[in-house]
Amino acid sequence: MAGVEPLDINKASHKDLMSLKGISTSRAIEIITARDRLGGQLTVDSFKNLPKVPVNVYQPLLDAGAIVFGSPKAARDHDASSNEGETANGDAADGDAHGQPADGADSADGDKDDDGPKSPPLSPRQVGS
């Protein structure tokens, strides 16, 4: 589908949806009804679970990039915020999105991070005094 802008499922009209290969009137109605029921936001998983849209219809659309579920920027922003606090494999991380230990978590020095501001390190001159 080179040169064709993908259709945003979450903004598409009935007519727009019917322009997609394999999407009939009843399938377009089901997509819009499900989207409305879910607060205007279908996800890939919710789209795949629509009874009237079988895998042989949705998979080619997904594979070809013919459909998206929100603008690419919105999808990236959503992915970044939904993965905050998770490691690459999806496990909860013991810290924030910047690699800092979570409040009260052990830091590298074994201290709890909730013990207030730290003094600056001593210079060699101060150590010898």
In terms of pTM, does the model score above 0.85?
Answer: no
Give the model's pLDDT for residue 52.
96
pLDDT digits (tens, 9 = 90+) for 23-67: 999 999 999 999 999 999 999 999 999 999 999 999 999 999 999
**Quick one: average pLDDT of 62-77?**
73
Instruction: Give the whole-angstrom CA distance, residue 86 versus residue 112.
Output: 21
Domain ranges across the chain: 7-77
Bridge partners of 7? Answer: 67
**Matching residue, tokens 């009209």:** 13
Question: Which pLDDT value is given to residue 70?
Answer: 86
How far apart CA 13 and CA 28 sit, in angstroms, is 9
- CA dist 15 and 4 (Å) reads 17
Q: What is the DSSP letter of 8?
A: E
State what percent of residues in the chain have pLDDT above 70: 52
